[in-house]
Amino acid sequence: SPWDYLGLRIQEGSIVPQQFSIKDDPKTLHDLHQLCGSINWVRPLLGITSEDLAPLFNLMRGGEDLVSPRTITPDAQESICKVKKALSTCQAHKVHPTLPFSYIILGKSSRFHGLIFQWDVTVFLPHQPSKTITQPQELMARLVLRARTYLHTLAGCDFTCLYLPLVSEDLDGLLQTCEILQFALDSYTGQNSIHNPSHKLFNLAFNLVPKFLQSKTPLKALTVFTDGSGKSHKSVITWKKPKTQKWESDVEVVQGSPQIAELAAIVRTFERFKKPINLVTDSAYVASVVARAEHSLLKEVSNTNLYKLLSKLVHLLFHREHQFHVLHVRSHTGFPGFIAEGNRKADTLAMPVSKANLPDVLAQAKLSHQFFHQNVPALMRMFSLSWEQARAVVAVRPNCQRYQVPSISCRVNPRGLNSCQLRQTDVTHYPSFGRTKYLHVSIDTFSGAAFASARAGGKAKDFIKHFLHAFATLGVPEQGRRDNGPAYTSQKLANFFNQWRVKHTTGIPHSPTGQAMVERAHQNIK
């Protein structure tokens, strides 16, 4: 006696760290990394918290070169001094075989640490949490799980008592709702206590799990709707003013993904409304973030914009004084009532400008489905809807069959029932016109009104020019019928018809079947 083993000096009644010489003035990133690694190895024996070492660990950020220069800041120097002091004074006594083991959680909320004692191994959380947003009860449960595993390895037994920084109401609720705490206490047969031991070592100020301002039930307060779009990059807040009963909005352009735009809207909502509010969003991601952000520990992420928004959200919720309620709803449900109306308002404000001024195609699809009961693919083709929108239209009517037999028209040359309902278009050649020999002809199948224009080609761009002149002369049709030529089936022409909300149908390739009226118009014009 004494014996030196794995960096420890084992004496008759106690165990102390061996005398280390700390290089307290690292010049490069490599030197700093070696210093932090050595400190982190002996940290469980010293009782130094992650919060005490954070200024030193933060110096390792940035710079990809191992020889990049580093300068010790005053805060980091203070951290090194704490390590030196602990190395010279800290010691652990041998295990007393007749005494039981106990465990207590110390520290402030989101910076907890634990102490195993008989009467001491200190258990710490990692400096960087594994999840982006971690709640205090999760941190506490992870400490309990880590300590039980540690004690099983060291002594082969379990704790007789766990001292948790809670009140009785919180403990009962967390045992029922916190899944990770249930896992941490699995097969535990000892006692849970919320009262600290009477020894002066534990006469410290404990921060209990704080009271949350988020309400599980809706509040009698202002309701705010939020939305964000990745296409238009709009971040939208809208609400109905109680005094005037008029809708007001706050729209900003935020670069990034739809989640970034939605999160920016949430942050502006908490900045603008300090009183109690009900927050309605159609983003499950944002609703989950807000539900977990209050009093949580935030992990640093590589996305700078996301980290700034999350930090601001956590800061606003930490300093908030009034309650709030978060409600996640599904978009495009078609339900009546105030919630669906507000969500539609937010969706409309978030749409791109090129689409916001078009007719309400979704309403037209709902009316059409009430009469004709089309399935999802038919609604997508007829009204250029997305799969989610078409599915929502069909789901509103539960009496519609899931699988429908497609209807087959008995006519090959149908006509419209009114003007601008069905229009046939085709191209013919008239060599006498020379370079502009391509004659494009459109005819209304109800009124017989025809429009022709001579073009220099038969490609998609030539058809678009013809259709623009035809729309200005005859009006915009609801449906256009053409043959199955390469130009008519091109993606460029399909996008053009989608912008004008014109249903586009084609027939047999290079066959006049179903194009009788426009073929006769060719003969009359020639």
Q: What is the pLDDT of residues 361-378, one digit of tens each?
A: 778 888 888 777 888 888
Q: What is the fold, at CATH topology level, of the domain defined by 222-328?
A: Nucleotidyltransferase; domain 5 (3.30.420)
Q: What is the pLDDT of residue 332?
A: 66
Q: What is the pLDDT of residue 44?
A: 66
Strand partners, 444: 423
- Give yes or no for residue 200 having a pLDDT over 80: no
Query: What is the separation, in whole angstroms, between the first and last Cα of the chain?
Result: 117
- Token pair for 66: 């191992």
Strand partners, 451: 442
Q: What is the mean pLDDT of residues 379-399?
A: 80
For residue range 19-36, list pLDDT tens digits in order. 666 677 787 877 887 788
463, amino acid identity: F
213, amino acid identity: L
* Count of alpha carbons within 13 angstroms of residue 145, beta-carbon side: 14
Measured from the Cβ of residue 368, the count of other Cβ atoms closer than 10 Å reads: 16
- 403: pLDDT confidence band, cut at 50, 70 and 90? very low
Q: What is the pLDDT of residue 399?
A: 63
In whole angstroms, give the CA distance from residue 82 to residue 77: 9
Q: Enumerate the domain spans of the chain.
A: 22-91, 102-202, 222-328, 422-525
- Give yes or no for residue 380 having a pLDDT over 50: yes
Q: What is the mean pLDDT of residues 88-112?
A: 67
CATH architecture of 22-91: 2-Layer Sandwich (3.30)
For residue range 66-82, list pLDDT tens digits in order. 667 888 888 888 888 88
- 130: pLDDT confidence band, cut at 50, 70 and 90? low
Asked which of 293-302, 447-456, 510-519 is least confident by mean pLDDT, the reply is 510-519
Give the pairing of strands 247-253 and 324-328.
Answer: unpaired
Q: Is the peptide bond before 2 cis (omega within 30 degrees of 0)?
A: yes
In whole angstroms, give the CA distance from residue 137 to residue 180: 9
Mean pLDDT, all residues of the chain = 77
Q: What is the pLDDT of residue 490?
A: 84
Q: What is the pLDDT of residue 453?
A: 92
- 446: pLDDT confidence band, cut at 50, 70 and 90? confident
Q: What is the pLDDT of residue 514?
A: 59
- Express as a percent the part of the chain with pLDDT over 70: 76
Q: What is the mean pLDDT of residues 309-315?
A: 86
110, amino acid identity: S
- Token pair for 28: 């490069």
* Count of alpha carbons within 13 angstroms of residue 107, beta-carbon side: 22
69: which DSSP letter? B
Q: Answer yes or no: are the C-beta atoms of 276 and 221 closer than 8 Å.
A: yes
Between 335 and 427, name the one with better pLDDT: 427
- Express as a percent the part of the chain with pLDDT over 90: 3
- Token pair for 389: 């929108």
3 state DSSP class of 222: strand
For residue range 136-186, list pLDDT tens digits in order. 777 778 888 888 887 787 677 888 888 777 776 777 777 777 787 888 888
Strand partners, 249: 238
Q: Are the folds of 222-328 and 422-525 the same?
A: yes
- Token pair for 121: 């191994």
Q: What is the pLDDT of residue 215?
A: 84
Helix (H) or strand (E) holding 475: none
Q: What is the mean pLDDT of residues 435-451?
A: 89
Which residues, at least 6 apart from 319, have a Cβ–Cβ distance to it below 8 Å? none
In whole angstroms, give the CA distance from residue 49 to residue 404: 66
In whole angstroms, give the CA distance from residue 24 to residue 72: 8
For residue range 201-253, list pLDDT tens digits in order. 565 554 445 567 888 888 888 889 988 887 788 888 999 888 888 888 888 88
Asked which of 124-128, 356-360, 502-506 is least confident by mean pLDDT, the reply is 356-360
- Give yes or no for residue 189 having a pLDDT over 50: yes
- 454: pLDDT confidence band, cut at 50, 70 and 90? very high
1 exposed, middle or buried (CB, 10 Å; 0-12, 13-18, 19+)? exposed
Q: What is the pLDDT of residue 445?
A: 87
In whole angstroms, give the CA distance from residue 392 to residue 21: 69
The CA-based angle 217-223-227, given to 5 degrees, is 105
- Give yes or no for residue 45 having a pLDDT over 70: no
Q: Give residue for tokens 């061996």.
A: 18
Distance (Å) of CA 25 to CA 48, 68, 144, 229: 20, 14, 36, 50
Q: Answer yes or no: are the C-beta atoms of 135 and 296 closer than 8 Å.
A: yes
Residue 226: name the closest of 293, 303, 292, 287 by CA. 287
Q: Answer yes or no: are the C-beta atoms of 55 and 84 closer than 8 Å.
A: no
CATH architecture of 422-525: 2-Layer Sandwich (3.30)
In whole angstroms, give the CA distance from residue 148 to residue 33: 30
List the strands of the sheet with 422-429, edge to edge.
450-455, 438-444, 422-429, 479-482, 503-506
Measured from the Cβ of residue 34, the count of other Cβ atoms closer than 10 Å reads: 13
Measured from the Cβ of residue 325, the count of other Cβ atoms closer than 10 Å reads: 18
Q: What is the pLDDT of residue 406?
A: 44
Asked which of 308-317, 387-396, 409-418, 489-498 is least confident by mean pLDDT, the reply is 409-418
Q: Answer yes or no: are the C-beta atoms of 201 and 305 closer than 8 Å.
A: no
